[in-house]
């Protein structure tokens, strides 16, 4: 981390419940496994479309039920990690040209990558404790950075992640007023070998396995301070341009 140095690693985040949303995914399942292996959280809850309760991001009622389930556990969540997202499939396309744009695929990308996480904020941010440190971290993507966009392509994915980044920033402002030590942040995990990246050329990139990516993300999360809330950071903790 260059511009905004991270404080020393802290223990206090680990005392609460850790919640992983998108726990069925490549990175999400590795995050859940790493949190369980770490053995410090008061509990680790993984939520996905196949858990009970299930979270389907296009169904706000399912998000509300899942949040109520977490609240009913009676342990304050101090780490809520959102590891869901789509690049293509289920109606979304990784468009290479404007000629591939369709209203339906753009709507799908926004529904899953931006609107779903916004509704997660609505229902899960109020569960964070009013005192002490806590983190709501959403996996975004470097390609959602407008300033960093030199290659083009992937219109829907890029635009929905840019929207997600703005939602994270906006929520961070509101969250700070509620608890100055609570952090809302967007994280870029790097290129990771998962279902999402599998169909795409990655031979020119450093590709990490999910367990390594999860370890790096958890290290960044542990060293976050309130000054990082509202930022887009990469897997090293370095800020990325909007």
Site of interaction with ligand NAP (CB under 6 A):
22, 24-28, 48-50, 55-58, 83-86, 112, 139, 141, 188-189, 191-192, 194-197
Cβ within 8 Å of residue 74, ≥6 positions away: none
Which of 176, 182, 84, 80 is closest to 136 using CA atoms?
A: 80
Q: Between residues 162 and 196, which has the closer beta carbon with respect to ligand NAP?
A: 196
Closest distance of CB 37 from ligand NAP, Å? 18
Question: Which residue number, 76 or 219, has a Cβ lying nearer to ligand NAP?
Answer: 219
Q: Which is nearer to ligand NAP, 113 or 181 (CB)?
A: 113
In this structure, what token pair is assigned to residue 68? Answer: 């109520």
Measured CA to CA, the distance from residue 5 to residue 155 in angstroms comes to 33
Nearest approach in angstroms of CB 109 to ligand NAP is: 10
For residues 165 and 74, what is the distance between their CA atoms, to the nearest angstrom?
30
* Residue with Cβ nearer ligand NAP (139 or 171): 139
| Per-residue DSSP letter, 128 | S
Instruction: Supply the minimum distance, in Å, between the C-beta of residue 122 and ligand NAP.
Output: 15
In 19-154, where does DSSP find H-type helix? 26-38, 60-72, 103-110, 116-124
Take residue 43 and report the two structure tokens written for it: 């509990």
Minimum CB separation from ligand NAP for residue 178, in Å?
Answer: 25
């Amino acid at each position: 981390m260059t511009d905004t140095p991270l404080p020393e690693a802290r223990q206090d985040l680990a005392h609460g419940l850790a919640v992983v949303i998108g726990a069925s995914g490549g990175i999400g399942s590795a995050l859940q496994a790493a949190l369980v292996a770490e053995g410090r959280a008061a509990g680790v809850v993984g939520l996905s479309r196949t858990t009970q309760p299930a979270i389907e991001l296009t169904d706000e009622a399912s998000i509300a039920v899942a949040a109520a389930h977490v609240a009913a556990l009676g342990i304050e969540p101090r780490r809520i990690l959102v590891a869901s997202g789509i690049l293509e499939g289920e109606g979304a396309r990784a468009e290479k040209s404007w000629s591939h744009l369709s209203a339906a695929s753009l709507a799908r990308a926004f529904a899953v990558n931006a609107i779903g996480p916004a509704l997660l904020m609505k229902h899960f941010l109020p569960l964070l404790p009013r005192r002490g440190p806590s983190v709501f971290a959403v996996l975004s993507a470097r390609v959602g950075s407008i300033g960093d966009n030199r290659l083009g392509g992937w219109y829907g994915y890029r635009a929905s992640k840019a929207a997600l980044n703005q939602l994270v920033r906006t929520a961070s402002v509101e969250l700070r007023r509620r608890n100055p030590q609570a952090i809302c942040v967007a994280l870029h995990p790097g290129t990771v070998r998962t279902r999402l990246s599998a169909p795409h050329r990655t031979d020119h990139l450093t590709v990490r396995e999910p367990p390594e990516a999860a370890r790096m993300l958890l290290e960044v999360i542990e060293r976050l301070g309130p000054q990082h809330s509202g930022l887009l950071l990469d897997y090293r903790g370095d800020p990325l341009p909007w």
